[in-house]
Amino acid sequence: MRAIADKRPTEGPLLRVKDLTKSFPISGGFLSRQAEYVRAVDGVSFAINSGETLGLVGESGCGKSTTGRCILRLIEPSSGEVWFEGKDVTALDRGALRALSRDMQIIFQDPYASLDPRMTVGAIIGEALTIHQLAKTRREFEDRVVQLLETVGLNADHMRRYPHEFSGGQRQRIGIARALAVEPRLVVCDEAVSALDVSVQAQVVNLLQDLQRRYGLAYLFIAHDLAVVKHIADRIAVMYLGRIVETAPKAALFAAPRHPYTQALLEAIPRPEPGATRSRRLVGGDVPSMLTPPSGCHFHTRCPHARERCRVEAPALASDADGGRAVACHYWREIAPPADRPARTTGPSLAAERLAWLQAAFASVPAPGPAAPAVAASVSSGGPSCRTRRPFDPRCFR
């Protein structure tokens, strides 16, 4: 991998997105004509600095993944600008876009569907090395694949196995190794941990943070789990129905969210504080259809602070005085951030009651007796372990 010191200095943001829009045609009627359009991404703008993590959050179907794929041109944007290190990504031809893909990679959401089941792990990771001609000899190719596997916490023997022989967390590590193979500067993490168990999520997130510190990577971290985003992101952008409604540094957004939708998202997070109570401002109604979104502010049909202006005029993403926060709401300066009510002070708290109950329960448990003899587990000679003893087949990497 390229060290941080070897990275070219970047003046301004590493990635800058301006007024990005993506519309999908809907066919219907006589002869399946294009009757309507779904605007999945509607004028999205943001920037990411080198070595920074921007968390992109929102409800399912709000356009987060479409935004990430449009940036990489896996989906062609309808309009807007995407600038990476001073290059207009939307204006590049096929050859220039392939060369730029070395610096921009993606980790897909589904670790099961994103890996070809007919290819070995070594072939999956090494495919990009072959395309970009990053390994001149067979020995250099294999050494590079082994280095990438060890970087993400896997073993060299895993290069000869197939994806179905790994757990979900291991498959996601393989996807990370594939993204790192071409030494990128920006990685789009498209729901990279949403399909994993909580314990495996923590391992993958810690791995991503460690790789960022070692190689100076920038992440666009797309997720709907705000607890994960709070752990990994530096700044957060909140999306609703294809539009960004608030951006702010992580600490500022979680401490004092200003947009009503951001407040509703944060108040929906359960808190592990048994003795604390709080008043929630839950929004009503259902998420409108992106085929026929509401006029004006898209959130006005569910917002408790909506006024007549919100129904007719779409708010711009306005920055505050210091420029650290931007909110797309006409009246966000008048809306106070939510405040928790203090925990009850009369009588013993619920946490103290539970602690006393647990202490009494442990005191009543008798001392353990002699341990039962261990039963030796029979080990089958078949299974995935047989593949580790299989001789190397060079056809696996074709």
CATH number at residue 213: 3.40.50.300
Give residue 74's identity as a one-letter amino acid code: L
For the chain, list residues with pLDDT below 50.
3-9, 341-348, 367-398
Tell whether 97 and 196 lie within a shared domain: yes
Tell whether 41 and 167 lie within a shared domain: no
Q: Which helix or strand (DSSP H or E) is residue 175 part of?
A: helix 168-180
Helix/strand/coil for 360: helix
- Domain of 138 in residue numbering reads as 118-175
What's the pLDDT at 291? Answer: 85
In a domain, 141, yes or no: yes
Tell whether 150 and 277 lie within a shared domain: no
Tell whether 36 and 142 lie within a shared domain: no
Q: Which helix or strand (DSSP H or E) is residue 41 part of?
A: strand 33-48
Tell whether 214 and 329 lie within a shared domain: yes
User: Residues 6 or more apart from 197 whose CB is under 8 A from it?
Assistant: 168, 169
Tell whether 205 and 271 lie within a shared domain: yes
352-374 pLDDT per residue, tens: 565 565 556 556 555 444 444 44
Give residue 336's identity as a one-letter amino acid code: A
* pTM for the full predicted model: 0.79
Q: Phi then psi for 118, rounded to 5 degrees?
A: -90, -5
CA distances from 291 to 41, 242, 287, 301, 392 (A): 12, 11, 12, 15, 53
Tell whether 198 and 83 lie within a shared domain: yes
Which of 126, 154, 175 is the last residue before a domain boundary?
175
What's the pLDDT at 286? Answer: 79
Tell whether 170 and 192 lie within a shared domain: no
Q: Smallest Cα–Cα separation from 104: which of 20, 218, 202?
A: 218
Q: Which helix or strand (DSSP H or E) is residue 88 part of?
A: strand 87-88
Beta bridge partners of 46: 17
In a domain, 292, yes or no: no
Tell whether 23 and 152 lie within a shared domain: no
What's the pLDDT at 244? Answer: 96
What's the pLDDT at 339? Answer: 66
User: Domain total for the chain?
Assistant: 2
CA distances from 164 to 234, 244, 344 (A): 35, 38, 52
Orientation angle between helical segments 168-180 and 121-131, nearest 10 degrees:
20
What's the pLDDT at 112? Answer: 87
Q: Smallest Cα–Cα separation from 150: which of 180, 130, 120, 187?
A: 180
In a domain, 297, yes or no: no
What's the pLDDT at 360? Answer: 65
Q: Smallest Cα–Cα separation from 19: which of 48, 43, 47?
A: 43
332-357 pLDDT per residue, tens: 988 888 765 444 444 445 555 655 65
Tell whether 210 and 93 lie within a shared domain: yes
Tell whether 78 and 125 lie within a shared domain: no
User: Residues 6 or more apart from 334 whose CB is under 8 A from it?
Assistant: 305
**Are the CB atoms for 326 and 319 separated by under 8 Å?**
yes
What's the pLDDT at 36? Answer: 83
Tell whether 208 and 88 lie within a shared domain: yes
Give residue 63's identity as a one-letter amino acid code: G
